[in-house]
Structure formats: structure tokens, C-alpha cells
Amino acid sequence: ERLLEQWAVEMDEHGKVGDRGFCVSTFSHRWERPGLDVATAHPDTPDHKKAAKLAAYGEHGTCPIFEPHHKFDYYFWIDFAGINQFDIREKQLGVCKLPAYISATTEIIMYNSSTVDYEPRAWTRAERALGFTFAASPLFVYMDD
């Protein structure tokens, strides 16, 4: 919230700070190390393959649909960080707010890992349906390993 407030203070009449626009992407993916024990469950691999892909995507500053005219500062909404994983009540409330989180995003990034099945999972299908319904654009980006 503070990030958006500061962006609003600094942006020009086109909504940009410097030469970049603001882009929040929802990251739809399967957890690499799922489990009921929140201390050991983790969405990424030990070598952080998803984090590396997101960093590279953000560093590029744009996606092909906007190239070369628009550059963005990318911010990613990721369930692991955006929903409390340790408090069951907070986790349930976070899941219920998923449509609101998605409605605040510009694009949905779908990550298809070679080590876990993305497509047949009902949850990832629900994320895509919510993205198509509520995302501002809706713009979908496909990533894989």
C-alpha cells in the first residue's frame, strides 16, 4: 500500500516514474515442495528456479506486447508471501481475498514447472479464471523452466 502511495506522489501525468510504468503481476504456480507442515513446505526449488525466472522477467522491464514503447517496474504478488502461511484463520481470509488481489494486478504469470504438474490442478485453473475475470488487462504471461 505504501509503495502505491509513494508511486502516486512521484508519478507524472502518464502514471510513470522516470520512463517506467507500474506493473503488479500475480504469480500462478504449483508449489515445488508442498506439505501440511508450514515449516518445510515451500513454493520454490532449493536452487530458487522460480525466483530467478521472475527476477529475469522483471529486469527486462517489459513484455512483448508493449515492447519497445513501454517499460515497467515489476512487482509480483505471490501466494507464499501475500497470504499468511502460519495462522490458519489468516490463511483462510487471504484465500478468500484472492479475487481482490487479482483485481489489483495488471497481468497473470502462469509458471509451468517441469517438476510439478501445473495444468490439471483445480487451484491453478481457478487462479486463471479469476485472472481472466478480474485482472485489469487481462494479460497472461506463460513461463516455464
Phi, psi of 54 (to 5 degrees): -65, -40
- Looking at residue 1, its pLDDT comes to 76
User: What is residue 138's predicted lDDT score, i.e. its pLDDT?
Assistant: 75
pLDDT of residue 43: 94
Q: Give yes or no for residue 118 having a pLDDT over 80.
A: yes
What tens digit of pLDDT does each residue of 73-95 get? 889 999 989 999 999 999 999 99
Strand stretches in the chain, DSSP E: 20-28, 71-78, 107-112, 139-144
Q: Cell triple for residue 132?
A: 481472466
Residue 3 has a pLDDT of 87
Distance between CA atoms of residues 67 and 96, nearest Å: 35
> pTM score, two decimals?
0.86
